[in-house]
Amino acid sequence: MILHGLDARIEQGDTIRDPKFKDEENELELRRFDKVMANFPFSMENWAQNGEPKKDKKGNTVNKKDGTPQIEYKKEFTDPYNRLVYGVPPYSNGDFAFLQHIIASLDENGKAGVVCPQGVLFRGQPEKTEEEDGQNRKADVEYTIRRGFLQGIDFK
């Protein structure tokens, strides 16, 4: 924004748990913008901050192969700003939480420019009928959220 001389306000912080751009009259509503630019933290694990490191029987932290702790999610995330209209994303990957926040921050004719990982386009299990795959699998939440983006919801 600065390099291109655009007039913008950039805030740092946890935009999911503590959005910086709230309506001045109602703290539980987001301000709406005609343009939103974002480069959120890709594939952020524990985006809702509702998980704790998993412990073994001795009380030691259980790590993944890469050495980072495995996370156990103990409670549900409740969004007081009503941004997660297409579904609550998996706590292990926050891409769709940030994308829903961006969409909720747009006004009626708003446009967004977002840098995000390509996995957002492809992750998720689509709903399949028994005839298609011999099972009857329900679509997972990432697929359902992505479908919601494409089909839209009337927020009025």
Please state the domain extents for the chain.
33-46+82-127+136-151
Note the pLDDT tens digit of each residue in 85-132: 999 999 999 999 999 999 999 999 999 999 999 888 888 888 876 777
Q: What is the mean pLDDT of residues 54-74?
A: 94
Q: Are strands 51-53 and 71-73 parallel, antiparallel or unpaired?
A: antiparallel
Q: What is the mean pLDDT of residues 53-77?
A: 94
Question: Sign of the CA dihedral 152, 91, 20, 36?
Answer: negative
Measured CA to CA in angstroms, residue 139 lies from 86, 119, 133, 146 at distances of: 13, 17, 13, 11
Q: What is the mean pLDDT of residues 58-83?
A: 94
pLDDT at 156: 44
State pTM to two decimals: 0.86
How many other C-beta atoms lie within 10 A of the C-beta of residue 136?
11
Note the pLDDT tens digit of each residue in 29-46: 999 999 999 999 999 999
66, 120 contact by CB (below 8 A)? no
